[in-house]
């Protein structure tokens, strides 16, 4: 893989979770969430993106979302369950992404709001196109994903260095 090719980051918010009497970290998906996670997986497959790496929060709802979505993909990437993605701020998520080896071209990060939406916002900088307006008007609901591209090594990823290329939410 050449660093000259744009890298891709897909930011994927977990699907709708249930609210049983368990800790936040242990909350599972509800019925709608399980359905939406599979639909999101089909939409991810439709993008034609092949993922080299999946980073996923250790929370039950994110692991369930990823397992249902990845089942729809033609290629299953290496998956790393990363504790630092749970309840992470955009800055903390950038720090995790900065550690990705440069032989990885495309990554999907399955995480939580407000971090995932905030990360999409700060990476894309001031771009004001229709895709960004759609993303912002919907507030990055459960099972939504954003596709961003950027040039350079992972360690150079910082606010404003990416371009928002696509966005999808279950309501679309």
Spatial distance between the Cα atoms of 171 and 162, rounded to a whole number of angstroms: 25
Give the Cβ contact number of residue 29 at 10 Å: 25
Helix (H) or strand (E) holding 53: strand 53-56
Element (H, E) at 147: strand 145-150
Report CA-CA distances (Å) from 159 to 15, 95, 99, 120, 146: 26, 11, 16, 9, 16
Q: Report the largest interatomic distance among the alpha carbons of the chain, rounded to a whole angstrom.
A: 49
Q: Quote the tokens at residue 19.
A: 């609210």
Q: Contact 64/34 with Cβ under 8 angstroms?
A: yes
Q: Is 138 annotated as a binding residue?
A: no
Q: Which helix (H) or strand (E) holds 84?
A: none
Enumerate the known binding-site residues for substrate.
61
Enumerate the known binding-site residues.
61
């Amino acid at each position: 893989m050449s660093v000259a090719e744009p890298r891709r980051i897909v930011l994927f918010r977990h699907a709708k979770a249930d609210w049983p009497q368990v800790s936040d970290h242990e909350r599972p998906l509800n019925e709608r969430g399980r359905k939406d996670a599979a639909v999101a997986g089909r939409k991810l497959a439709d993008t034609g993106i092949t993922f080299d790496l999946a980073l996923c929060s250790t929370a039950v709802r994110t692991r369930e979302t990823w397992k249902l979505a990845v089942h729809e993909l033609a290629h299953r990437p290496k998956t790393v369950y990363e504790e630092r993605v749970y309840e992470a701020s955009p800055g903390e998520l950038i720090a995790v992404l900065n550690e990705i080896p440069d032989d990885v071209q495309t990554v999907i990060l399955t995480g939580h709001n407000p971090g995932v939406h905030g990360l999409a916002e700060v990476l894309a900088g001031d771009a004001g196109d229709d895709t960004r307006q759609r993303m912002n008007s919907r507030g990055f609901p459960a099972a939504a994903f954003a596709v961003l591209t950027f040039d350079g090594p992972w360690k150079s990823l910082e606010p404003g260095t990416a371009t928002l290329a696509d966005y999808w939410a279950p309501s679309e």
